[in-house]
Amino acid sequence: MARDLSLALDAAARRMKRSKSEIMQAAVAAYLSPDGDEAAEAAVVRRLDRIGRSLERLERDVTISNEAVALLVKAWLTATPILSGGDQKAQNAKGQERYAGFLEALSRRLASGRLLRAEVLDEAKSGIGEV
């Protein structure tokens, strides 16, 4: 264990371009400092806050996505007429055409960088797009 610490100290001294005694003094001072624990705790709290905000944004985005998909499915189910058996081939062709159009529109939107969440938030602020 002492050998490992010695090797780590040598590597740190080379990497930092500092003497081993300078590194040892700084390490002992940090270890004995009453503020050391508080600084470490503050760093952890900042990281946790940042993670929390990221999770909140992620939750909001997933909620918007889920609602958008749900509305799309609802609209599709309520607007798609049931065709008779003789029209099955035409129905399949139209379904393939609609799906290809959906994929193209989705690809364009993703490539443009303009995501639905931004559009939804903009429309919510301006009162446009209410269903």
Q: What is the pLDDT of residue 1?
A: 65
- Report how far apart, in Å, the C-alpha atoms of 75 and of each of 16, 25, 83 are: 62, 69, 17
**Contact call for residues 63 and 117 (beta carbons, < 8 A):** no
Q: What is the pLDDT of residue 129?
A: 55
Q: How far apart are CA 96 and CA 111, in angstroms?
A: 22
| Segment-wise mean pLDDT, segments of 10 residues, the chain, 131 residues | 85 91 87 76 92 94 82 73 70 78 78 76 75 50
Q: How far apart are CA 36 and CA 55, in angstroms?
A: 29
- Report how far apart, in Å, the C-alpha atoms of 103 and of each of 66, 75, 84, 89 are: 18, 18, 27, 21
Q: What is the pLDDT of residue 31?
A: 78
